[in-house]
Amino acid sequence: MKVLIEAVGVSKYYPVETGGFLRRSTRSLRAVDTVSLSVNESETLGLVGESGCGKSTLGRLLIRLLPATGGTIRFADADITALQGKALRDVRRSMQIVFQDPYGALNPRMTVEDIVAEPLAIHGDTANLSTRVTEILSHVGLPARARERFPHEFSGGQRQRIGIARALILRPKFVVCDEPVSALDVSVQAQIVNLLQDLQGEFGLTYLFIAHDLGVVKHISTRVAVMYLGKIVEVAPKATLYATPKHPYTAGLIASVPVTHPSQRAKSRAERRRLTGDIPSALDPPSGCRFHTRCPMARALCGEAEPATRELAPGHLVACHFAE
């Protein structure tokens, strides 16, 4: 297994002004806080967590769509953290993103051909443009005649195919899929998930698959990382993570997923080990382990010291004082 892209101690802080007109002060919102994570070549790394946990920010940091506050990002063994100008543009050819909202992500005034060809134009790579657009459209299951049409003429699922075509036309190695199916109707989601898997095989792609749907993530991922309030709390091969989650947050997340058959309903609602409360504010994260305010197993130590990430079994990383 070869690591394709890697974050080492990466952080993203946003300055936030608080306190009103007279007592203004600036604090930092720690969207991503000293995270280390690697994605292996040709695998799909699933990234899950509640909204506001920083998973989309982390995805954007990896492909340099956002500048990191601290830490190092390595792509194909090269440090890309500080690249600028042409060097940055060159490396970006290899890293693309598919966005969640197929309605907001496509310019309504541009034809499909212009949308899909725009990355080629940006990189000054316009030879055989029309043929290449047609070719990539056929890979994502759209007919050549789609080229002259506008985004509003397509359904949500078809628009997501256009977004995927735009991401793949530069033949990237690494693609961040940021909630690519969560805005779609359920009967259409499976089509797009299958398509992403087919394309991964055809083009040898490596995915970071960001989603909050644990079922979809289990289906598509090789390994899964769980994020909570700016920190990675657990990483494991998918079968291990779902069968034997070691972090209490991961266990709580999995227990919250609705059952698939009414016969699996818990006998009593009190029986279920549900997570209580909401995710705390990233402006003022809890001390020690950030999860301790919602953790059913929290002890005194958890509020005092931040847990180190430990490797409990090969490839199974957990940041919890008491996981074993």
Whole-number Å distance between alpha carbons of 234 and 319: 6
Site string for another protein, 255-294 (x = CB under 8 A): xxxxxxxxxxx---x--x-xxx-xx---------------
E strands in 179-243: 206-210, 223-228, 231-237
222 contacts another protein (rule: CB under 8 A):
no
Task: Point out which span in 15-23, 29-37, 89-97, 246-254 binds another protein (CB under 8 A).
Answer: 246-254
> What residues from 1 to 30 belong to the interface with another protein (CB under 8 A)?
none
172 contacts another protein (rule: CB under 8 A):
no
Q: Please identify which residue in 125, 219, 303, 309 interacts with another protein, judged by CB under 8 A.
A: 219
Task: Point out which span in 1-9, 15-23, 126-134, 154-162 binds another protein (CB under 8 A).
Answer: 154-162
212 contacts another protein (rule: CB under 8 A):
yes
Q: Please identify which residue in 41, 50, 114, 125 interacts with another protein, judged by CB under 8 A.
A: 50
226 contacts another protein (rule: CB under 8 A):
no
Q: Which is nearer to another protein, 93 or 280 (CB)?
A: 280
What residue has token string 């397509």?
154
Whole-number Å distance between alpha carbons of 210 and 222: 13
Residue 97 DSSP one-character state: E
What residue has token string 């909630």?
179
Q: Which is nearer to another protein, 251 or 317 (CB)?
A: 251
Q: What are phi and psi of 131, to 5 degrees?
A: -60, -45
Element (H, E) at 312: strand 310-313
Whole-number Å distance between alpha carbons of 302 and 184: 39
Whole-number Å distance between alpha carbons of 224 and 137: 30
234, β-bridge pairs: 226, 318
What residue has token string 């001390």?
287
Shortest spacing between CB 44 and another protein, in angstroms = 13
Residues that bind another protein (CB under 8 A): 50-51, 155-158, 185-191, 193-194, 197, 212, 214-216, 218-219, 242, 252-265, 269, 272, 274-276, 278-279
